């Protein structure tokens, strides 16, 4: 009989991971036709709330009533267990990965021979971070160009009522700087379908893809872009992690898998793409053309306002012979991003404690979108210490810039227990001016 804590292997691609989940009863196939217009979202939402399995919709039906040839995979990371497995970790293995990430961000000199010896596994792992090139990748077994590269052939979801068009929700958007092909960024930015071969990329100004786009704009050139949908789990998870500056997500995925990341040259753009991706959209983001994006349901539980963002024109679609299309939805927690947020919180902790040793624990409640509120317990030793830590946290990581509220409590309060936190606020907190 399988035990969840026995999974410590790495996965070569998404279908390898899905096959393992199915063997362990953590993936269910849905063979009946299910509409991409709201129905997939509703089934996914109910299963996620119940702590249920990943879902493979074998006959997704588009808005015109046509059954798509490509199955849709949803709720892949709907539980902490599956997130740990995706990292190649046993149950409870996130703290070890968190310590490694903290060492990469802020390496410390060895203090002794035994300390230096203990760092050897990290140095060895770092050698796996250089990608290796693959000549005939699975991600290019099928190539669509021109009119064949039609987005309507893909099972792209309409997640919520009132949305204007299908939305690509799990894209790994690969960009690079114009003067440095090695300066790669992989970001997750939702993409609204505008037509058969056009999409809008919604990215915030501080994100890596937007920064690269500004560089290309300054040269008056369209930016090459590749969008991998359905990579191996380590590559997907690397794209959502708070990586140190200068470490690309593709390289870090190799570290997670303890092997060099296989990449391939894209067919129509000067970019490397994950060789084992399910499918890849290739094209160019216009230097000057924008289009209205939205409104779409967001992780806050509200619809975003309509704004203008850059337009991508498709030049090719490449894929495996029998690909899966990976998708999700965002909405008021719980949703899949909030589950990932819980895991990322565990990865932040060692880094935060290095900066502020007096911090006992830190919690980013999923009900607050996993970043808009924070509860932190500290070992308070002098007046003003709490204020110093709160101001330091707000400026420490880009993810914390959007935190609206920080609640600091004493060490005896469990920051992960709302009953404890509310009790402390009610009995130990004096508002200013009272």
Among candidate residues 157, 213, 163, the one with its CA nearest the CA of residue 34: 157
Angle (CA) 225 227 228, round 5°: 145
Residue 134 contacts residue 263 (beta carbons within 8 Å): yes
Instruction: Catalogue the long-range contacts made by 205-208 (C-beta closer than 8 Å, 24 or more residues apart).
Output: 206/398, 208/175
Q: Is 150 a catalytic residue?
A: no
Q: How many Å apart are CA 139 and CA 319, to the nearest integer?
A: 5
* Angle formed by the axes of helices 94-105 and 336-355, nearest 10°: 50
Active-site residue identified among 62, 222, 298, 335: 298
Among candidate residues 249, 171, 183, the one with its CA nearest the CA of residue 211: 183
The tokens describing 61, both together, are 């039906």
Residue 333 contacts residue 366 (beta carbons within 8 Å): yes
Place of tokens 């409590």: 409
Residue 339 contacts residue 79 (beta carbons within 8 Å): yes
Q: How many Å apart are CA 57 and CA 35, to the nearest integer?
A: 10
Residue 60 contacts residue 155 (beta carbons within 8 Å): yes
Q: How many Å apart are CA 65 and CA 115, to the nearest integer?
A: 62
Indicate the helix (H) or strand (E) that contains 225: strand 223-229
Among candidate residues 270, 281, 272, the one with its CA nearest the CA of residue 248: 272
Angle (CA) 227 233 236, round 5°: 35
* Angle formed by the axes of helices 385-396 and 336-355, nearest 10°: 120
- Residues marked active site are found at 298
């Amino acid at each position: 009989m399988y035990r969840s804590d026995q999974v410590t292997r790495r996965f070569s691609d998404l279908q390898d991971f899905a096959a393992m989940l199915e063997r362990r009863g953590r993936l269910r196939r849905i063979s009946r036709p299910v509409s991409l217009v709201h129905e997939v979202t509703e089934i996914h939402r109910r299963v996620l709330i119940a702590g249920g399995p990943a879902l493979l919709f074998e006959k997704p039906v588009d808005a015109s009533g046509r059954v798509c040839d490509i199955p849709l995979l949803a709720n892949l990371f709907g539980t902490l267990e599956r997130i740990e497995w995706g990292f190649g970790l046993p149950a409870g293995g996130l703290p070890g990965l968190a310590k490694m990430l903290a060492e990469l961000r802020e390496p410390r000199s060895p203090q002794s021979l035994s300390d230096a010896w203990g760092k050897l596994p990290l140095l060895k792992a770092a050698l796996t971070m250089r990608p290796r090139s693959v000549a005939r990748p699975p991600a290019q077994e099928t190539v669509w160009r021109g009119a064949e590269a039609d987005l309507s052939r893909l099972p792209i979801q309409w997640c919520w009522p009132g949305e204007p068009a299908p939305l690509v929700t799990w894209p790994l958007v690969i960009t690079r700087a114009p003067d440095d092909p090695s300066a790669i960024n992989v970001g997750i930015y939702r993409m609204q379908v505008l037509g058969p071969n056009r999409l809008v990329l919604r990215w915030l100004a501080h994100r890596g893809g937007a920064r690269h786009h500004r560089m290309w704009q300054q040269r008056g050139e369209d930016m090459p872009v590749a969008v991998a949908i359905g990579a191996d789990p380590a590559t997907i998870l690397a794209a959502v992690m708070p990586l140190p500056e200068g470490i690309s997500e593709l390289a870090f995925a190799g570290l997670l898998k303890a092997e060099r990341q296989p990449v391939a040259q894209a067919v129509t753009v000067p970019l490397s793409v994950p060789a084992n991706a399910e499918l890849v959209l290739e094209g160019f983001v216009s230097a000057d053309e924008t289009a209205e994006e939205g409104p779409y349901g967001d992780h806050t539980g509200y619809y975003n306002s309509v704004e203008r963002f850059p337009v991508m024109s498709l030049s090719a679609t490449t894929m495996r012979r029998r690909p899966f299309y990976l998708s999700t939805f965002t909405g008021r927690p719980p949703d899949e991003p909030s589950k990932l947020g819980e895991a990322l919180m565990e990865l932040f902790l060692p880094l935060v404690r290095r900066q502020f040793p007096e911090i006992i624990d830190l919690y980013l409640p999923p009900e607050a979108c996993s970043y808009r509120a924070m509860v932190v317990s500290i070992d308070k030793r002098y007046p003003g210490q709490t204020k110093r830590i709160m101001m330091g946290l707000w400026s420490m990581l880009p993810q914390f810039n959007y935190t609206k509220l920080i609640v600091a409590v004493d060490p005896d309060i469990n920051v992960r227990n709302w009953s404890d936190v509310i009790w402390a606020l009610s009995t130990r907190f004096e508002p200013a001016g009272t």
